[in-house]
């Protein structure tokens, strides 16, 4: 019989199987012995570490290279600082740079702004930037288009075939006209770091823009604000799963006046906006990948209504599985 690690199950001399605690203890001792230093292959007295041990060693090395080593290089060579942890240094550093922070509007503030626009019948567009939108904007400005194609294999599912400089320029043109822009909180390479690089490359002054979290769509839905916005309003739904979302909203007592489906990528923006304008609505929910950004801005500007980039939150409401995992 095989265990999860692929090694033969070990039995005691009495014939009983070792308990989970004994196996865990054996792995822990093995991890400690190898953690002290590398043993030359020809002189090892024990078998190679199991996958769990290898993962733990890789994690320790990654934590050192990405944190402790950076701290080590910045401490003075003629002194040591007892009792200081990496977390303590990071906390102190964060406090030192908070004077450069750009505040983000809360879901409650976003709700209040949208409610005022609906009541006052003024145009309002909420758009969101994730890795798809930022990679689109980075084509041959921050990252060569060929590298974007390689690093963004999911982009065709989001509505973009790289290279597409027209899509890049369209996104850059509408961003500064949006009423509220969701930006990522993640500091993974294709999120905040790419946001800052893209903003610098296209001359987008983030500190002058109305910003919120790119996950505000989920927050509005999960905190109950969305249903308050939709109540007693005419709703237009746009996206590849628009019909399913329209049915879910109708079942919840929301008046749905139209469902525009499908959206054939960012090149389909013009047609979608024209079709959307043929419906009477107060608020549009747009779940159309990268194309949602220009759709929302153009639709709000041309109709004087509210358009929200709703993303995968539409899947959560309709019960239709998302094609890709949202991560912003």
Number of domains the chain is built from:
2
State phi, psi for 257 to the nearest 5 degrees. Answer: -100, -10
Answer yes or no: do 92 and 137 share one domain.
no
Together in a domain, 63 and 138: no
Same domain, 183 and 216: yes
Q: Looking at the structure, do residues 136 and 267 belong to the same domain, yes or no?
A: yes
Residue 277 lies in a domain: yes
Q: Residue 158's pLDDT is what? A: 94
Chain mean pLDDT for the chain: 86
Examine the domain organization and report whether 294 and 186 are in the same domain: yes
Distance CA 137, CA 171 (A): 7
**Could you list the residue range(s) of the whole structural domain that residue 79 is in?**
20-98
Residues 6+ apart with CB under 8 A from 319: 244, 248
Dihedral of CA atoms 150, 156, 161, 166 in degrees, nearest 10, equals: -120
> How far apart are alpha carbons 94 and 272 in whole angstroms?
44
Q: Which helix (H) or strand (E) holds 229?
A: helix 225-230
Residue 273 in domain: yes
- β-pair partners for 223: none
Does 4 have pLDDT greater than 70? no
Q: Are residues 78 and 150 in the same domain?
A: no
Give mean pLDDT, residues 58-62: 86
Both 216 and 266 in one domain: the answer is: yes
The residue count for the chain: 328
For residue 60, tell me if it sits in a domain.
Answer: yes
Q: Does 264 lie in the same domain as 229? A: yes
Contact in structure between 324 and 256 (CB atoms under 8 Å): no
Give the pLDDT confidence score for residue 319 in this predicted structure: 85
Model confidence pLDDT, tens digit, residues 130-144: 999 999 999 999 999
Q: pLDDT by residue (tens digit) across 20-57? A: 434 444 443 444 333 333 433 334 445 555 556 678 88
- Whether residues 119 and 262 share a domain: the answer is yes
7 located within any domain? no
Judge contact between 268 and 160, C-beta under 8 A.
no
27 with 145, same domain: the answer is: no
Mark whether 199 and 52 lie in a shared domain. no
- The tens digit of pLDDT for each residue in 224-264 reads 999 999 999 999 999 999 999 999 999 999 999 999 999 99
pTM equals: 0.80
Of 65, 98, 131, which residue constitutes the final position of a domain?
98
138/93 same-domain check = no
Q: How many CB atoms lie within 10 A of CB 222?
A: 13
Q: Is residue 132 part of a domain?
A: yes
Q: Does the residue 214 lie in any domain? A: yes
98, 120, 155 — which closes off a domain?
A: 98
* Final residue in a domain of this structure, among 53, 70, 98: 98
Higher pLDDT, 308 or 7: 308
Residue 327 covered by a domain: no
| Percentage of the chain lying above the pLDDT 90 cut | 75
Residue 67 has pLDDT above 70, yes or no: yes
Q: Is residue 225 part of a domain?
A: yes
């Amino acid at each position: 019989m095989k265990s999860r690690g692929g090694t033969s199950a070990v039995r005691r001399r009495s014939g009983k199987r070792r308990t989970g605690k004994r196996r865990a203890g054996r792995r822990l001792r093995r991890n400690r012995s190898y953690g002290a230093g590398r043993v030359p292959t020809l002189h090892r007295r024990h078998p190679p570490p199991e996958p769990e041990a290898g993962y733990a060693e890789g994690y320790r090395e990654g934590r050192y290279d990405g944190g402790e080593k950076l701290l080590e290089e910045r401490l003075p060579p003629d002194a040591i600082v007892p009792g200081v942890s990496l977390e303590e240094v990071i906390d102190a550093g964060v406090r030192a740079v908070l004077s450069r922070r750009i505040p983000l509007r809360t879901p409650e503030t976003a709700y209040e702004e949208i409610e005022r626009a609906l009541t006052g019948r003024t145009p309002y567009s909420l758009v969101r930037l994730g890795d798809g939108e930022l990679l689109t904007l980075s084509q041959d400005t921050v990252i060569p288009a060929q590298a974007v194609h390689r690093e963004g294999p999911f982009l065709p599912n989001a509505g973009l075939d790289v290279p597409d400089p027209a899509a890049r320029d369209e996104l850059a043109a509408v961003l500064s006209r949006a009423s509220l822009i969701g930006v990522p909180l993640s500091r993974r390479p294709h999120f905040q770091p790419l946001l800052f690089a893209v903003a610098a490359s296209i001359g987008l002054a983030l500190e002058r823009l109305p910003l919120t979290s790119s996950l505000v769509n989920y927050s509005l839905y999960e905190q109950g604000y969305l249903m308050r916005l939709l109540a007693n309003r005419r709703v237009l739904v746009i996206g590849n799963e628009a019909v399913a979302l329209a049915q879910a909203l109708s079942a919840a007592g929301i008046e749905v006046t139209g469902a525009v489906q499908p959206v054939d990528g960012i090149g389909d923006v013009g047609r979608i906006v024209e079709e959307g304008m043929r419906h009477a609505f107060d608020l549009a929910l747009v779940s159309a990948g990268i194309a949602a950004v220009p759709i929302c801005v153009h639709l709000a500007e041309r109709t004087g209504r509210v358009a929200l980039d709703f993303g995968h939150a539409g899947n959560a409401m309709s019960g239709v599985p998302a094609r890709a995992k949202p991560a912003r």
